[in-house]
Each structure stands twice: as structure tokens, then as C-alpha cells.
Amino acid sequence: MNPQHKITDIQKEKLSALTCQRLSSDPNNLREVEAFYNALNETLVDTLKGEAYEEDEQKGTAYYVVKEPTGKILCFSP
């Protein structure tokens, strides 16, 4: 492995502090999604604010969120 591409201990610590969970597994996620805004991809916003929570809850389509330790959602993934 190229030493320039090695993950540092600080980066490992930050990565290990992140959590990944199903969108519907925590009611707080719904509140976070409601605050989500992305001017470049309004379709994503509409999906997340519309059917995503229900689809995930009914086990139709799995939606995942990656959160920092404070609970803030960093990214979404269907």
C-alpha cells in the first residue's frame, strides 16, 4: 500500500464514531430528513421527504443514513 494513501489514526477514530442505520429505525431520522435540502437534486429531497421513510418501514426499499455522534445525518443511501 502506498504510504500516502494510508488512513491515519485520527481518520480511523472519526470513521469509527460514525453510525449507519436504517432510516426508519429511529424516529429522530424523520425530523432530520424534514430539514434536509439539496438545490442540486430536488428529486432526492422529494423522495426522502415523501415515500422513503414509509418504504423503509414496510421493508420495500431499504434507505440508510450515516450519522455523526451528535445524531446529525451526514448522508443518505437507498
Q: What angle do CA 52, 55, 61 make, to 5 degrees?
A: 95
pLDDT of residue 10: 94
Residue 3 reports pLDDT greater than 80: no
Sign of the alpha-carbon dihedral angle for 41, 42, 44, 49: positive
* 44 backbone dihedrals φ, ψ, rounded to 5°: -60, -45
In a domain, 13, yes or no: no
In a domain, 46, yes or no: yes
48-62 confidence digits (pLDDT tens) = 888 888 899 898 899
In a domain, 67, yes or no: yes
Domain containing 66 equals: 18-77
Residue 12 reports pLDDT greater than 60: yes
CA 39 → CA 12, 18, 19, 57, 62, distances in Å?
A: 31, 25, 26, 26, 24
pTM to 2 decimal places:
0.74
Mean pLDDT of the chain: 87
- Domains held by the chain: number: 1
26-44 confidence digits (pLDDT tens) = 988 888 888 877 778 888 8
